[in-house]
Structure 1
Amino acid sequence: MLPYSFPGHALAFLRNSEEVLATGKKYFGCTNHPFALNLGGSIFYAIFNPVDVAAVFNAGPKLSFDGFLHGIMAEFGSSQTAIQKVLNVPDESQLGLSPRQSVSELAHHFQVKQTSGSELKLLIQHIVCFFQENLLLEGLKNHTSPSFYVDCDGEKCVSLKYWTAEVFIHAGQNAYFGDELLKIDPTLPQVLMRMDELSWQIFYRYPWFLRPELNRLTSRLRSTLHQYLKLPKHQRKSVAWFTQFLESEYRRVGLDDEDIAAQMLFLYWGINTNVSKVGYWMMAHIAFDPSLAEIVREETEPAFQEDESLDVEYLANACPRLNCLWLEVLRLSASSTTLRYITEDQELGNYLLRKGRALMISARQLHHDETAFGEDAHLFKPDRFLKSPKLQRSYCFRPFGGGKTLCPGRHLAKWMVLSFIAIVFRRYDVDLAKPQKFPRYQENKPAIGIISGCDDVFLRLKARK
């Protein structure tokens, strides 16, 4: 157990969870051995050894995620009855696509199907068309968001944080929910942006009465989704069939519209927020290093056809420098924490993990492991994965988690970000609008997936001839 003063490690963990974990590693001699933390009276084992991490992801039901998922669903507004219906495996008398799987398991399985193979190609084709129609300079200048197109010393410029968030949220919203959500509430992406900034309070069980703004935002999002569900199905068409499939499964097990709206909020938040942050960090790194912009343009040019349509598979498979940039950005920005409940005593290496406790795996700690990534692991090196391709298969590289909770949308996220970058740098010269420092990682707030930036970046866009 890492030493602590009353009342445990919880307050320090809320202030900066990664600093607590890094301090613990140093205290125990940087050996990568697990150690225990007291978080609000609950004991968590922090796991660092990449071999142990692989064992956790390959473990069976002795290490369960359902307990955490139960709590998250409740925080998003689902009733206890609805949560049980979503997480429990139905008996043989209940009809469905698979009576041996819970709705939660089915959702994961079919989201994987939606974001792979031919289904992924159809989805990304729609999203690329959305990007091409909306990444227009005229549209930026006329944008209604008050923080979107701002003055920089008397000159108009783009707020990178708001630009990437709104573009990616609009794209994901359109693909999964069609046009109707935007008609119900045109400001919904901005509401989600703010809700996401506060979402750490949900995942770290911040007391309900101390988070009034977050409560108002989640209530507003659920209300909008509730209105959306009241519309006739034929009016709620989207290119992603997964959304209506999921709704049908919720109705099959007896959820009402309010509980379905709460479950849909979890989906809406999950598909829209982390991908925009990767886009933000990719753009920031390229904007601060003009040589990267030229590499992107040169490497992606063959992906554009005569009619300016984009071959996204070319981006994913034939642009090694762009893909290595994506991997390095993920390595430094992914800050997800894998959590598991220990349902039975579990041996892990030379250690015994006790039933009733929990364990955590920090992607950020793994991604800064100097034995895997070298003494410069804390630095951004755009060619790191180009020089050492095997790093992306390292047990220390876990930007999307692993095991049963491996992110099902990881391929879609990659294709979206690469498409966005390719289109932007084909159309525009991108410069810093004023002298600025590279944005800092927001390490003082717990991150759920991709870490946010403490600072905005203001860009000047000029149409290329």
Structure 2
Amino acid sequence: MSDAPQERIYVITKPKDVADAYRNTESLSFNEFVQAVMRACDNTESCIQAMYTPLPRDKAGFANPQGKSLATLARQMHIHQLYPGKGLDFLERTFLEWFDVRMNMEKLHSGCSYATKRDDGDVVLPLMEWCSDFLISAGQRAYFGDELGQIDGNLVREFVKFDELSWQVLYQYPELLAGEMKRSRDVIQRALKKYIQLPQSQRSGEAWFTKAMENEMRALNIGEDDIATMLMTIYWVLNTSTRKAAFWLLSYILHTPSLILVIRNETKPAFNNSDGKLNLDYIHNQCPQLNAMWNEMIRMSASAALVRFITADTVIGGKVLRRGNRLLIPFRQLHFDKSVFGETADSFDHERFLEMKPSLTQSGTWRPFGGGGTMCPGRHAAKKCVLLFVVLLLQRFDIEVDGWQSLPVADEGKPVLGIMSTRENRDLRVRVTARKTFA
């Protein structure tokens, strides 16, 4: 038997302790967790070393005035793409273009192999599969243009398989027990390798971040297999939550059908521009009901956790956390604190964010995207993408649950990067009809 000490995992749940942990960047490190995930995804040690070696302040490419490593710069580069501004506007325009041409009955009949056509012209769709198809495809096109889908047209299906098993990556599951996850992951990585082997002049329509990140890695002589693996991680982070967020938001709305009319009435002015263009600013800044529903869905469905490696003895909440162990902060329980969210905290009620705004989203118990230096940089893009999809869907179609079906139960037993999936991968059948009076 080994005499090596067993690693401890400390768990903290109090909002004040959580805030203290976020502020501590000296003795609580995120790097070890990221590096472990990189190894689990088959990045080589030479790649990990290159990513975490400080770079010259005057290097070419993305500015590096503080001499940080590419692993640190990558987050700053992604923020440059994802925070409000030209980069985020590009992504939203791409989402809109993709949804706009596909959200009509003709395309649903011809383009959705999983749809069941009714004699009356209606279509019955499995909602999660539909959301996954549209949201992953839109995200893929926004980041990689059309070329990646042309290399392999089955990436959406493979990603869903991978994503539903991606907890095995987070748990660093033994390879012998993770064969299906690895097979789907490898399919996507092979497609990404072929993608980066195309001359950049032959690729068009991709996000700035995609090409910039590739160039930064090539400048460090990181090999194409490792670059493809890093891009696979980006593909994962990009697509894991949007499809599930759209599913849960629509599921909650469809199980309270009166909310459909609320959204239609509130968002209708965004469709009444004289130039025929959708007023995106109106949707995001003039629709409090819609935004409250988004916040409530996130509160109910987010299940990310903070993981830190303790590099020196640290005091939090009056207790000493010993060096060499790990700190875990699950956020989900914070979102069901009845002293903050009220006695109905276990139920979907978006009006709590109307009545108590802005106090709820500014409280220490509101952590759907993490916090501190590792707060999810994609939260703005995810929200814009999902709300755009939902608003277009509800304005263009009549949609209802196809026969009686209870609200699916979230799978709280598996770790995720953001939004939970459904227990036992249960889907929700919905009936879709073209609206006679579209906004």
Class of the TM-score when normalised by the shorter of the 2 chains = over 0.9
Q: Find the aligned partners of 1:176 and 1:448 in 2 and give their Cα distance.
A: 19
Shift of 1:245: 0.2
Q: In the alignment, which residue of structure 2 is the partner of 1:452? A: 421
| Residue 19 of structure 2, aligned match among 54, 69, 76 | 54
**Partner secondary structure for residue 446 of structure 1:** coil
What are the superposed Cα offsets for residues 437-460 of structure 1, whole Å, 9 maximum, x if unpaired? Answer: 111111233333100122211111
1:381 maps to 2:352: no
Q: Find the aligned partners of 1:295 and 1:334 in 2 and give their Cα distance.
A: 24
Q: In the alignment, which residue of structure 2 is the partner of 1:121? A: 89
**Distance verdict in 2 for CA 1:282–1:144, change over 3 Å:** closer
Q: Find the aligned partners of 2:333 and 2:431 in 1 and give their Cα distance.
A: 35
Shift of 1:332: 0.6
The one-letter code sitting in structure 1 at the alignment partner of 2:366 is F
- Runs of 4+ deviating beyond 4 Å: 91-96, 151-156
**Cα RMSD after superposing both structures:** 1.9
Q: In the alignment, which residue of structure 2 is the partner of 1:7? A: none
**Distance verdict in 2 for CA 1:341–1:457, change over 3 Å:** same
Structure 2: state its 5+ residue gaps: none
Q: Find the aligned partners of 2:260 and 2:172 in 1 and give their Cα distance.
A: 41
**Distance verdict in 2 for CA 1:46–1:152, change over 3 Å:** farther
Q: In the alignment, which residue of structure 2 is the partner of 1:419? A: 388
Shift of 1:353: 1.1
Map 1:296-307 → 2, pairs under 5 A = 296-304=263-271, 305-306=273-274
Shift of 1:165: 0.7
Q: In the alignment, which residue of structure 2 is the partner of 1:242? A: 209
**Distance verdict in 2 for CA 1:181–1:163, change over 3 Å:** same
**Partner secondary structure for residue 111 of structure 2:** coil
**Distance verdict in 2 for CA 1:316–1:93, change over 3 Å:** closer
Q: In the alignment, which residue of structure 2 is the partner of 1:435? A: 404
Q: In the alignment, which residue of structure 2 is the partner of 1:464? A: 435
Q: Find the aligned partners of 2:154 and 2:133 in 1 and give their Cα distance.
A: 10
| Residue 231 of structure 1, aligned match among 198, 202, 205 | 198
Task: Output the TM-score relative to the length of structure 2.
Answer: 0.93
The one-letter code sitting in structure 2 at the alignment partner of 1:375 is E
Shift of 1:309: 2.3
Q: In the alignment, which residue of structure 1 is the partner of 2:182? A: 215
Shift of 1:266: 0.2
**Distance verdict in 2 for CA 1:118–1:229, change over 3 Å:** closer
* Residue-pair matches, total: 424
**Distance verdict in 2 for CA 1:92–1:421, change over 3 Å:** closer
Structure 1: state its 5+ residue gaps: 1-39
Q: Find the aligned partners of 1:103 and 1:249 in 2 and give their Cα distance.
A: 8
What are the superposed Cα offsets for residues 225-280 of structure 1, whole Å, 9 maximum, x if unpaired? Answer: 01111111012222411100000111111101111000000001111121111111
**Distance verdict in 2 for CA 1:93–1:322, change over 3 Å:** closer
The one-letter code sitting in structure 2 at the alignment partner of 1:73 is M
The one-letter code sitting in structure 1 at the alignment partner of 2:249 is M
What are the superposed Cα offsets for residues 100-140 of structure 1, whole Å, 9 maximum, x if unpaired? Answer: 11112111111111112232123212211211112222112
**Distance verdict in 2 for CA 1:337–1:197, change over 3 Å:** same
Q: Find the aligned partners of 2:123 and 2:251 in 1 and give their Cα distance.
A: 18
Task: Output the TM-score relative to the length of structure 1.
Answer: 0.88
Shift of 1:61: 2.5
Q: Find the aligned partners of 2:119 and 2:345 in 1 and give their Cα distance.
A: 36
Q: Find the aligned partners of 2:178 and 2:206 in 1 and give their Cα distance.
A: 35
**Distance verdict in 2 for CA 1:93–1:418, change over 3 Å:** closer
**Partner secondary structure for residue 42 of structure 1:** coil
Range 110-119 or range 351-360, more displaced: 110-119
Q: Give the conservation status (yes or no) of the 8 Å contact 1:126–1:239.
A: no
Q: Find the aligned partners of 1:229 and 1:236 in 2 and give their Cα distance.
A: 9
1:143 maps to 2:111: yes
Q: Find the aligned partners of 1:279 and 1:135 in 2 and give their Cα distance.
A: 15
Range 442-451 or range 310-319, more displaced: 442-451
Range 308-317 or range 228-237, more displaced: 308-317
Q: Percent identity?
A: 37
Q: Give the conservation status (yes or no) of the 8 Å contact 2:78–2:209.
A: yes
Shift of 1:152: 8.9
1:83 maps to 2:52: no
Map 1:261-280 → 2, pairs under 5 A = 261-280=228-247
Q: Find the aligned partners of 2:215 and 2:399 in 1 and give their Cα distance.
A: 45
Shift of 1:376: 2.2
1:195 maps to 2:162: yes
Q: Give the conservation status (yes or no) of the 8 Å contact 2:13–2:331.
A: no
Q: Give the conservation status (yes or no) of the 8 Å contact 1:124–1:416.
A: yes
Q: In the alignment, which residue of structure 2 is the partner of 1:289? A: 256
Q: Give the conservation status (yes or no) of the 8 Å contact 1:128–1:310.
A: no
| Residue 341 of structure 1, aligned match among 293, 304, 309 | 309
What are the superposed Cα offsets for residues 49-79 of structure 1, whole Å, 9 maximum, x if unpaired? Answer: 1111111111123110000000111112211
The one-letter code sitting in structure 1 at the alignment partner of 2:312 is E
Q: Give the conservation status (yes or no) of the 8 Å contact 2:240–2:417.
A: no
Q: Find the aligned partners of 2:166 and 2:27 in 1 and give their Cα distance.
A: 28
**Distance verdict in 2 for CA 1:125–1:344, change over 3 Å:** same
Map 1:79-118 → 2, pairs under 5 A = 79-91=44-56, 97-98=63-64, 100-115=67-82, 116-118=84-86
Q: Give the conservation status (yes or no) of the 8 Å contact 1:152–1:434.
A: no
